Amino acid sequence: MANYKSQASLLLNVLPEVAKETRFALHGGTAINLFVREMPGLSVDIDLTYVPVENRETSFKNITGALERIKATIQAVVPNAKVIHKQAELKLQISNTQAQIKLEVNQAMRGTIAPPIKMTLCEKAQEAFDAFCEIQVVPIGQLYGGKICAALDRQHPRDFFDVKYLLENEGFAEEVRAGFLFGLLSSNRPLHEMLAPNLLDQRSAMANQFEGMSEEEFTYEDFEVTRSLLIKTIHENLTDTDNKFLLSFQNGTPDWRLLDFGDYPAVQWKLQNLQKLKEANPEKHTEQLDLLESGLTA
């Protein structure tokens, strides 16, 4: 756990400089574990959403400028810090003598479905690391909706650790359902694979990429139970209107009156790809549509 603590310490030294860039909002595990919850686990990545909805060229220009400013301030105020700006990836690699972390802006999922909220570093983290920070966080529904989609996509134990606390506390609330649908429509993976994922054996990931990140017990059995419960919960909570919309979206003809996410870049991109698939390979498109329909009605 020592190295994770060094990474978290570096992250908390850096985060106040990131917070100065108000076009960004924090999402992902750091937002959940260090701001929403009382640090049930550590988090060592800074994942950012670019809040304005602008065209790609304008967005990337503004994001690149903001990352350059963050790089400069970190190197000026954080002792022994070195920062590499990977411009094509919208990423900063940040290190000091003890640790290395990454800061990354999501290239596709730009914009928030509600105004970001300013949050304060949880008390447990303040005491453990002698640190303080306030930062904008994406709205709670989008935060957890994105986390659920990440969990279904890559099936990493770290994501299901966060999902476990959600299901035990707030549950699949209305705002989380909306955030999940937004994440679903923005994902790279086909809709039917997200809603009925091929269950992966993640024992190796559990041992090598999660153990030591939390003092709270989270066994492999907990992971499997949480994964099954999440999939069951999603299907129990999606409405007939949701299902109707998802089928219309998969068919390339979404009814935006049912769900008003049509202006977001990631959603537009996924829709364009579906429309291209429908034209170029109608058999594969029909197969995916049938798989989605059978998955939604199962």
Considering the entire predicted model, what is its pTM? 0.95
Report which DSSP code applies to 137: E
Q: Is 118 in contact with 1 (CB distance < 8 Å)?
A: no
pLDDT given for residue 112 in this prediction: 98
| 58-84 tens-digit pLDDT | 999 999 999 999 999 999 999 999 999
Instruction: Mark residue 131 as left, alpha or beta (left: phi above 0; alpha: psi -120 to 50; beta: remaining).
Output: beta
Domain with CATH 3.30.460 in the chain: 2-138
| 102-156 tens-digit pLDDT | 999 999 999 999 999 999 999 999 999 999 999 999 999 999 999 999 999 999 9
**Helices H, strands E: what count in the chain?**
13, 7
User: At residue 90, what are phi and psi to the nearest 5 degrees?
Assistant: 55, 50
| 196-235 tens-digit pLDDT | 999 999 999 999 889 888 888 999 999 999 999 999 999 9
H/E run at residue 146: helix 140-154
Residue 69's nearest CA partner among 105, 138, 21, 104 is: 21
2-138 belongs to CATH 2.60.40: no
